[in-house]
Chain A
């Protein structure tokens, strides 16, 4: 986690609306804005994009209509290719997440890495929670690690693709502790959760929003938080570092990118639009409700973050023995 990003976030939030007038409004959109999303309707990103749009429209921050364009297929590949095809366009943005970084590292067909796009802003970070079934013998993450050490390969974790953050965190944890457990892929969140609650796997990493209801109903126990500090909704759950695991808290990022070669004035305009949107009360409520962390950054900071994070993830995937594409 980059301290500079946090300082910038704090700074951006403290700056009042007055500063909006200091940005020379040289660019104003004349055509509807399209936001490309790499998954189908109802997916996490789709809901995120629609929430952002509804906040912008409610507060009348945009003179033009904004619509979502779903470009599912091949993880982020189809959406990234779509953005690349819109090079120089001033009326298209995309929502990116970690897989925009990892897909091009692994798939030869994914030829549009995030570093080739125009960065606009990071918007939120999603903390993760390490969860076990409520009647599981593991009261702490250390309990789980010890059990995994005692019987290598016997315990298992449910998750999505091997490129997803859940598996990357598993690799880091295994590397740091010498324990060994399986990662079992399921295509949808519902199936991952069923596998845990049915007792077929021993552990999973969930989003705070998902965990809240399951913990309250007594189906799930949360044993560690992948976050910089304890989450407001889970004050008793230690962070990885507090629990004694010295590994980086890989953030799950959601941010906004523009096609390659978008003019500077347009980038400044959209950066400002997103900043205003994230400062509204509705957006703050949405972030709290879902257990996200606000993470707004300027285009320059976003660019720096993407470059550094790409290298970090490349190193971890390489170590995990996943076949990478030589570029």
Chain B
């Protein structure tokens, strides 16, 4: 009953015209930030924070949070159209999103992304509203061994991301893992693989690697094939700009999977939405009856990660609002914004600042509707982008990529890295190495190594710690089962061969 009263009270605050306007401004800015590669929601919120200090706290926090979840909507746009992830959480959306565009379904892909974002984003907030305190306790029960097992499960998904050759997928994964170790090691303060370059002390930046391996490599590959005219066919007629009934039907499970996977991983401090989107994609493919379509433009392969990275927002706000624990970069900034207004998130927030708490939660329901209405009309507009001939489009993508890489730390070194990774991606594409496992290794490697070392420190070197804890054990078994998948299919093929030869 409390929840219903609270929500009613919250909608009373969120629907005040002034706050509606702030919600719209936040969502709009978020969409723009999401589309532009290199400019992240965290930096945007930090820049705008001082401007909001003279505002009413409810309006200010509604706007800043709007930027946070709005950016998740925009992130997939460039992934789908240009194979160029705008945020770390939209890398996985490149895999099938860009292939859909190449099949002439760019509009449909953008539509699926917007719908998945809306459904999962809303489910995430519903869960935040209903089960936040209980889920927060679950998040706290997650210790280093569970994180390690979760990352191991994530890594096992390499068998689903490798395409034709598992060996090449594993090699790409190892390169990604290696890249994730570059920089100063937190545990010993020693630098690893920095080759005396101070620029490498901070490690490699995710956006630089992803844009290089995806966008730049794609351009180089296309140039090599000397394709004239436009890059991608754009279907005529408005009907073809929307997802078809079949595409929506195929994505049914993905909407649910993305919603729950994204929310659960979002709750865990330090896991992050990139991991959530990878795991949602892996689960989607593991249970799919048409695995062969993944990586060739399966709508559910776009809907699952896109949903996950939006539901992740609702999850990430659970520990922030109920425990005062920020789980990632953007939530840390939201926390400092709240503190500047004299609001301390935590168990007492609901009773001490009900206006802010419920006003914020209610505004997110409103914001997701706003984002859907904002993004759907943009679909035909963005789809038209692909009509631009390649001789105009490629230089523009190149320019955007360079600006994106440069703006990460405002230094030319990252642009040099971008060129190196572009070349690496190009060579990988030529030799049949899949790029997704490389990114997977890079995203998970850091967290996995950390969790392993933390676990062994806590257990004083006892390896059985991973099998004595139920959640960790279940995740490790799941990882093991997924690793066995290729063996099973290999056995089946071998059996079929043996029977046909015997016949």
Residue B380 interfacial (CB < 8 Å):
no
Residue A161 interfacial (CB < 8 Å):
yes
A40 to B196, CA, bound (A): 23
Asked whether, in the complex, the Cβ of A42 is within 8 Å of the Cβ of B45, the reply is: yes
Query: Which of chain B's residues has its CB closest to A153's CB?
Result: B460
Asked whether, in the complex, the Cβ of B326 is within 8 Å of the Cβ of A198, the reply is: no
Query: Which residues of the partner chain A approach B198 to less than 8 Å between Cβ atoms?
Result: 74, 77-78, 81, 109-111
Query: Which residues of the partner chain B approach A77 to less than 8 Å between Cβ atoms?
Result: 198, 201-202
**Which among B187, B344, B409, B450 is the interface contact of A78 at CB below 8 angstroms?**
B409
**Which among B319, B323, B333 is the interface contact of A42 at CB below 8 angstroms?**
B333
A312 to B73, CA, bound (A): 50
Asked whether, in the complex, the Cβ of A109 is within 8 Å of the Cβ of B43, the reply is: no
Residue A4 interfacial (CB < 8 Å):
no
Residue B47 interfacial (CB < 8 Å):
yes
**Which among A47, A110, A184 is the interface contact of B454 at CB below 8 angstroms?**
A184
Question: Interface readout for B184-211 with A: 1 if CB under 8 Å, 0 if not?
Answer: 1011111100101111111100000000
* Stretch binding the partner chain, chosen from A208-216, A223-231, A271-279: A208-216
A73 to B92, CA, bound (A): 26
Asked whether, in the complex, the Cβ of A195 is within 8 Å of the Cβ of B42, the reply is: no
Asked whether, in the complex, the Cβ of A197 is within 8 Å of the Cβ of B196, the reply is: no
Asked whether, in the complex, the Cβ of A40 is within 8 Å of the Cβ of B43, the reply is: yes
Query: Which residues of the partner chain B approach A86 to less than 8 Å between Cβ atoms?
Result: none
Query: Which of chain A's residues has its CB closest to B268's CB?
Result: A194
Nearest chain B CB to A127 CB, angstrom units: 17
Nearest chain A CB to B268 CB, angstrom units: 9
Asked whether, in the complex, the Cβ of A182 is within 8 Å of the Cβ of B140, the reply is: no
**Which among A43, A199, A216 is the interface contact of B348 at CB below 8 angstroms?**
A216
Nearest chain B CB to A284 CB, angstrom units: 16
Residue B142 interfacial (CB < 8 Å):
yes
Given A162-B187, A213-B344; A109-B141 close (CB under 8 Å): no
Residue B346 interfacial (CB < 8 Å):
yes
Residue A107 interfacial (CB < 8 Å):
yes
Nearest chain B CB to A188 CB, angstrom units: 6
Residue A26 interfacial (CB < 8 Å):
no
A78 to B197, CA, bound (A): 11
Residue A217 interfacial (CB < 8 Å):
yes
A186 to B47, CA, bound (A): 27
A200 to B328, CA, bound (A): 19
Residue A187 interfacial (CB < 8 Å):
yes
CB interface residues, A 126-167, toward B, < 8 Å: 153-154, 156, 160-163
Query: Which residues of the partner chain A approach B186 to less than 8 Å between Cβ atoms?
Result: 160-162, 185, 187
Residue B473 interfacial (CB < 8 Å):
no
Nearest chain B CB to A292 CB, angstrom units: 13
Nearest chain A CB to B105 CB, angstrom units: 37
A190 to B457, CA, bound (A): 20
Query: Which residues of the partner chain A approach B47 to less than 8 Å between Cβ atoms?
Result: 41
**Which among B50, B270, B323, B331 is the interface contact of A187 at CB below 8 angstroms?**
B270
**Which among A54, A111, A154 is the interface contact of B53 at CB below 8 angstroms?**
A54
Residue B324 interfacial (CB < 8 Å):
yes
Question: Interface readout for B206-241 with A: 1 if CB under 8 Å, 0 if not?
Answer: 000000000000000000000000000000000000
Nearest chain B CB to A221 CB, angstrom units: 15
Residue A72 interfacial (CB < 8 Å):
yes
Residue B347 interfacial (CB < 8 Å):
yes
Asked whether, in the complex, the Cβ of B325 is within 8 Å of the Cβ of A193, the reply is: yes
A279 to B296, CA, bound (A): 64
Residue B130 interfacial (CB < 8 Å):
no
Asked whether, in the complex, the Cβ of B329 is within 8 Å of the Cβ of A42, the reply is: yes
Asked whether, in the complex, the Cβ of B49 is within 8 Å of the Cβ of A50, the reply is: yes
Given A72-B202, A156-B457, A213-B324; A200-B144 close (CB under 8 Å): yes
Residue B373 interfacial (CB < 8 Å):
no
CB interface residues, A 53-79, toward B, < 8 Å: 53-54, 69-75, 77-78
A69 to B409, CA, bound (A): 10
A41 to B408, CA, bound (A): 12
Query: Which of chain A's residues has its CB closest to B144's CB?
Result: A200
Q: In the complex, which range does the number of interface residues on chain B fall in? A: 35 or more
Nearest chain B CB to A104 CB, angstrom units: 11
**Which among A54, A110, A154, A200 is the interface contact of B460 at CB below 8 angstroms?**
A154
Residue B181 interfacial (CB < 8 Å):
no
**Which among B45, B199, B327, B333 is the interface contact of A73 at CB below 8 angstroms?**
B199
Asked whether, in the complex, the Cβ of B188 is within 8 Å of the Cβ of A162, the reply is: yes
Given A46-B46, A81-B198; A212-B409 close (CB under 8 Å): no
A182 to B144, CA, bound (A): 14
Asked whether, in the complex, the Cβ of A41 is within 8 Å of the Cβ of B43, the reply is: yes
Asked whether, in the complex, the Cβ of B329 is within 8 Å of the Cβ of A40, the reply is: yes
Query: Which residues of the partner chain B approach A81 to less than 8 Å between Cβ atoms?
Result: 198
Residue B366 interfacial (CB < 8 Å):
no
Asked whether, in the complex, the Cβ of A190 is within 8 Å of the Cβ of B326, the reply is: yes
Nearest chain A CB to B50 CB, angstrom units: 5
Query: Which of chain A's residues has its CB closest to B330's CB?
Result: A42
Asked whether, in the complex, the Cβ of B45 is within 8 Å of the Cβ of A200, the reply is: no
Given A40-B42, A40-B43; A54-B187 close (CB under 8 Å): no
Asked whether, in the complex, the Cβ of B457 is within 8 Å of the Cβ of A197, the reply is: no
CB interface residues, B 298-345, toward A, < 8 Å: 319, 323-333, 336, 339, 342, 344-345
Query: Which residues of the partner chain B approach A216 to less than 8 Å between Cβ atoms?
Result: 344, 346, 348
Nearest chain A CB to B7 CB, angstrom units: 23
Asked whether, in the complex, the Cβ of A184 is within 8 Å of the Cβ of B458, the reply is: yes
Residue A13 interfacial (CB < 8 Å):
no
Query: Which residues of the partner chain A approach B328 to less than 8 Å between Cβ atoms?
Result: 188, 190
Nearest chain A CB to B139 CB, angstrom units: 7
Nearest chain A CB to B57 CB, angstrom units: 15
Nearest chain B CB to A199 CB, angstrom units: 8
Some 17 contacts from A to B, beta carbons below 8 A apart, are A40-B46, A42-B329, A42-B336, A43-B332, A50-B46, A74-B199, A78-B201, A110-B201, A162-B187, A182-B458, A189-B332, A190-B325, A191-B270, A194-B142, A194-B323, A214-B324, A323-B188
Leading 10 A-B pairs by shortest Cβ distance? A74-B201, A41-B46, A73-B202, A42-B333, A198-B140, A213-B344, A217-B347, A109-B198, A200-B143, A74-B202
| Known A194-B323, A194-B325; further 19 A-B contacts with Cβ < 8 A | A41-B45, A46-B46, A71-B409, A73-B199, A73-B202, A73-B203, A74-B199, A78-B199, A109-B201, A184-B454, A185-B186, A186-B270, A190-B270, A190-B326, A190-B332, A193-B324, A193-B325, A194-B269, A201-B458
A contacts, CB < 8 Å to B: 40-43, 46-47, 50, 53-54, 69-75, 77-78, 81, 106-111, 153-154, 156, 160-163, 182, 184-191, 193-195, 197-201, 209, 212-214, 216-219, 289, 322-323
B contacts, CB < 8 Å to A: 42-43, 45-47, 49-50, 53, 139-144, 183-184, 186-191, 194, 196-203, 269-270, 319, 323-333, 336, 339, 342, 344-348, 409-411, 450, 454, 457-458, 460
